[in-house]
Structure 1
Amino acid sequence: MKEIFAGAGGASPAPAALAAKVRTLAPSMTRSMQRVAEAVAGDPAGCAALTVTGLAELTGTSEATVVRTARLLGYPGYRDLRLALAGLAAQQQSGRAPSVTADIAVDDPIADVVAKLAYDEQQTLADTAAGLDTAQLGAAVTALAAARRIDIYGIGASSLVGQDLAQKLLRIGLIAHAHGDPHLAITNAVQLRAKDVAIAITHSGSTGDVIEPLRVAFEHGATTIAITGRPDGPVSQYADHILTTSTARESELRPAAMSSRTSQLLVVDCLFVGVAQRTYESAAPALSASYEALAHRHSPRSTGR
């Protein structure tokens, strides 16, 4: 299983990735750590000016909690977090990192709904790109490009994302199947071996119907990949590679499935393009053949008109 947090031997996240880290990891933090995370995300300039003691007093926590929060967010210590906060504050002041907009209200005009959703989608994509571990992405692409067979597991909205990835891989000549039925997923996972790849898509990181087939695939020797918004969730136990997604704030009119789907599709597109690059000599002709077949099917002659 990969190392989850950048602070454990990796480089500290860039300022642009700090807000994404907070949004991604806050739900899995203790309440006291959440207060620290919410404070630094809400007022990076103000918190950057505080000592560790000052931030502890502001959030009603302890200095140890502040330091633990900094490390969980990927920084070796509080000093490094303060530097990132100062950088994030500078970006916001320059207009390159706008503050988060308000939630959608029941009485919002449709034009405001469009604007708010568009902003949140853009922010989710930016957060996911900033927090995506490109080394893990590259390793996942390598495994997929050489795979004998690829199984993809997802339930609900994640199932739709899995289907999208499967049909993309099929169009470049790879053998890929998406499974939304947990029983079929496990039945197929039993058949996987080394050289095969299994992908689990679960925003929560704890969807049992997705984790179980991934576990089976892992134990049968397949390379396993998790696309998840909770890199510390149970799914990580059976993942050789973890690709972390971000999500906008959940609200009554904006469930997590909406924004998680957006970030998952970005990761799926990154995987597909990476695999297509690695297998270009075979992928390009396969894509051309599929385009030609589809064009022929929809031409007037093929429909008898």
Structure 2
Amino acid sequence: MSGTAKETFGSPAALAAKVRTLAPSMTRSMQRVAETVADDPAGSAALTVTGLAERTGTSEATVVRTARVLGYPGYRDLRLALAALAAEQAAGRAPAVTADITVDDPMNGVIAKLAQEEAQCLADTAAGLDTAALEAAAGALAAARRVDVYGIGASNLVAQDLTQKLLRIGLIAHAPADPHLAVTNAVQLRPGDVAIAITHSGRTADVIEPLRVAFEHGATTVAVTGRPDGDIVQYADHILATSSARESELRPAAMSSRTSQLLVVDCLFIGVAQRTYATAAPALSASYEALAHRHAPRDRR
């Protein structure tokens, strides 16, 4: 893939945000390279791979590895992206708010660009999902005595969404927002139960800890994460990878990843509903009927 700055970074802020997100997975020498290109895209674009290695006190191999972590096949592609970004800055174009959206874009343009970005995020997630892991996770959920779903911040919204769906088809599910309560709940799990952790970074301690406890108590564990190499996966029986939209300062990965996380939990829910249809359909119907009067038009007499 040969990229341009507009396609991947959007703005210096977006590049800096990407570097911050990926830094924990880099070696210290790779971090120096990434921080240098983020701090000075124009100056870095003017350097050869040897020049950038000398400037950062690293090796040419480290520069190439850093380019790959940032999403490019090699340094040449990253250098072209940095040059394009520098050219946009020099031309005085409107600063990017998020992805390709600038402060001057009309609202209809914002809608179109975000819709395209969300669609690509969903397509990337669908293409990368491990079907066997998804089937196994859905099967475990369908047979579970109890389900715990762990997530913090934006990921907790997704956890709440999944638990609400499962509750409506008769499963016992919890999504504690308090990390202490999450660990307390996890202690009560045993074989036959399921614990699901949702974390884009794969390194959120408040999500890793309850999943570890659930894993150690014999529950089947599932990780929904944008980083299949993150710390969370060591405690996961099944790994479901997500994608995220391009990030910026106003839309970091933790927020943009929610779109793909919702797709994954919807797939999980449908998989469970298919396996438990005989009981799920009546339960869903009963919950609908119980709430129907709350949605009926009121008599305004």
Normalised TM-score (structure 2): 0.69
Native 8 Å contact 2:99 2:247 kept in 1: no
Q: Distance in 1 between matches of 2:169 and 2:125?
A: 25
Letter in 1 for 2:238: H
Letter in 1 for 2:158: V
Is 1:284 aligned to 2:265, yes or no? no
Match of residue 16 from structure 1: none
Match of residue 232 from structure 1: 229
Native 8 Å contact 1:189 1:214 kept in 2: yes
Deviations 1:78-137 (A, max 9, x none): xxx9xxxxxxxxxxxxxxxxxxx9522222222221111111101100000011111110
Match of residue 172 from structure 2: 175
Match of residue 259 from structure 1: 256
Native 8 Å contact 1:103 1:251 kept in 2: no
Q: Distance in 1 between matches of 2:245 and 2:261?
A: 13
Native 8 Å contact 2:202 2:228 kept in 1: yes
Residue of 196, 200, 207 corresponding to 2:197: 200
Unaligned runs of 5+ in 1: 1-18, 36-55, 73-80, 82-100
Match of residue 158 from structure 1: 155
Native 8 Å contact 1:104 1:253 kept in 2: no
Deviations 1:135-176 (A, max 9, x none): 110110011000000001111110010000000000111000
In the TM superposition, residue 62 of structure 1 has moved relative to its aligned partner by: 6.8
Q: Distance in 1 between matches of 2:111 and 2:296?
A: 36
Residue of 102, 105, 109 corresponding to 2:102: 105
| Number of equivalenced pairs | 235
Native 8 Å contact 2:201 2:254 kept in 1: no
Deviations 1:234-278 (A, max 9, x none): 101111111000011111232223320000000000000000001
Unaligned runs of 5+ in 2: 1-6, 8-17, 35-48, 54-58, 74-97
Native 8 Å contact 2:99 2:246 kept in 1: no
Native 8 Å contact 2:183 2:209 kept in 1: yes
Q: Distance in 2 between matches of 1:159 and 1:290?
A: 23
Match of residue 15 from structure 2: none
Aligned pair in 2 of structure 1 residues 248, 298: CA closer, same or farther (>3 Å)? closer
Q: Distance in 2 between matches of 1:296 and 1:269?
A: 26
SS at match of 1:198: strand
In the TM superposition, residue 295 of structure 1 has moved relative to its aligned partner by: 0.8
Native 8 Å contact 2:99 2:248 kept in 1: no
Native 8 Å contact 1:215 1:238 kept in 2: yes
Structure 1 stretches (4+) deviating beyond 6 angstroms? 59-67
Match of residue 12 from structure 1: none
Match of residue 139 from structure 1: 136
Residue of 119, 126, 129 corresponding to 2:126: 129
Q: Distance in 2 between matches of 1:281 and 1:294?
A: 21
Q: Distance in 2 between matches of 1:171 and 1:215?
A: 28
Native 8 Å contact 2:150 2:156 kept in 1: yes
Deviations 1:45-93 (A, max 9, x none): xxxxxxxxxxx99x998789989x99x9xxxxxxxx9xxxxxxxxxxxx
Q: Distance in 2 between matches of 1:254 and 1:139?
A: 33
Residue of 209, 212, 215 corresponding to 1:212: 209
Match of residue 183 from structure 2: 186
Native 8 Å contact 2:224 2:240 kept in 1: yes
SS at match of 1:242: strand
